[in-house]
Amino acid sequence: MRLSWDETSNKIVTEDGAAIGELRNIEDYDIPSEAVADVSLREWKQLFREVLTKRGEVVSPAIWRRDKKFIFVDDLESGKVEVSIDAHGPQWDLDQVKRTIEALCLASNDELHEIVYQEEYWIFHLVCDPDDRTTEQLFALQGACADLLKLPDGPGLEALTHAESVHRMVLAGGGVAIVGLRESSWLEVKSRAYNSAVFADEIELAQDVARFANGSESALLLLGYRTSKRDGVDRITKICPLRIEESLCSRYQQLLDRRVYPPLEGLKIDYVAAGSGGLLAILIPRQPEAAKPYLVHGAIIDGKNEGSFISIIQRRDEGSRPMSPMEIHALLSAGRSALRGTFGS
């Protein structure tokens, strides 16, 4: 979206001439975020220069949402753009907050210039490259900061104790910030993508997701990371963006719809741009007990593709195991007993 300054109305207008926001004075211009979600920092920068040329004044708009979050945007002579965002939260240790927010910024090549805490709000002053950054992405970053500050143990790696919190951080561009986390019963990472055109990869993806679905908590599968074993524990040591496209999300969704039964509730598959490539985040929310076990249609038996076979996989700590014949038999027996009790023998 191209923005410009209309001298007649003294307002910011879109390409079709529609005015956006409210001007109380040149330094107090409020704009609803939904009106400028796709506007890049490069376009904001051009607007600032235009206003300066036409009026000889500097405009510093406040972009707001209904929940009263603000992003103040200023142009810098360096060619970059300064963005100030705020987030409500307790007064955590300054160094702890700084380390975490710096890691979030690093993923998108932003620089944390200054941190201020006042009246129960953290204010982060960032210096951003104007290319490839939109208003919506900045609000996502702000949301991730707010989520981290609300964690009961503070905004450090030790506070990332469940799949949803890590998922929010990665989607906000904080992929680098999770380096150091250990794989667990709810987190697994891979350094490559699954090839949806290869049967073995289809089954591997379906089994990886189904084993989490058969667990007792929400889980996250991330593609685009490497791990190494430290003190007997696999920890994330490096982000390695993959050469993948966003369309892979829909292909994986279709594959899982075809291979996993019953259908998974609330499954989310997201593409996240990172460096010269991208990451993929697959969030598997905790599934209803009544729907378990989740079955995978297809298996690899002695190196052979067996499309008619059924497999049941469970997650155990950092690994996985197939359900034993005795466990499967017990489930079937329990189901038969329940049916007899409901419908009679």
The strand ranges marked E within 96-248 are 111-118, 121-128, 187-190, 219-223, 225-230, 233-239
Instruction: State the residue range of the domain holding 189.
Output: 185-332
Q: Is residue 210 domain-resident?
A: yes
235 and 325: one domain?
Answer: yes
Given 125, 159, 193, which residue is the final one in a domain? 159
The number of residues making up the chain comes to: 345
Pairing of strands 187-190, 121-128: unpaired
137 and 203: one domain?
Answer: no
Q: Each residue of 312-343: pLDDT tens digit?
A: 766 555 555 555 555 665 666 666 666 666 55
88 and 218: one domain?
Answer: no
Number of domains in the chain: 2
Pairing of strands 233-239, 225-230: antiparallel
Q: Is residue 338 domain-resident?
A: no
Given 159, 177, 193, which residue is the final one in a domain? 159
Sign of the Cα torsion 128, 134, 135, 136 reads negative
155 and 226: one domain?
Answer: no
Q: Each residue of 120-164: pLDDT tens digit?
A: 899 999 998 887 678 887 887 787 787 777 766 666 666 677 898
Q: What is the pLDDT of residue 335?
A: 63
Q: What is the pLDDT of residue 208?
A: 93
Q: Is residue 17 domain-resident?
A: yes
Q: What is the pLDDT of residue 116?
A: 92
Q: What is the pLDDT of residue 229?
A: 86
Q: What is the pLDDT of residue 67?
A: 63
69 and 107: one domain?
Answer: yes
CB 280 within 8 A of CB 222: yes
Measured distance CA(334)–CA(329) in Å, rounded: 8
Q: Is residue 313 domain-resident?
A: yes
Q: Which of 37, 39, 33, 46 is nearest to 4 (CA)?
A: 46
Weakly modelled stretches of the chain, pLDDT under 70: 1, 21-30, 52, 54-61, 65-69, 106-108, 132, 151-159, 172-174, 176, 301-308, 313-345
155 and 189: one domain?
Answer: no
CATH of the domain at 296: 3.30.950.30
CATH of the domain at 51: 3.30.1460
132 and 10: one domain?
Answer: yes
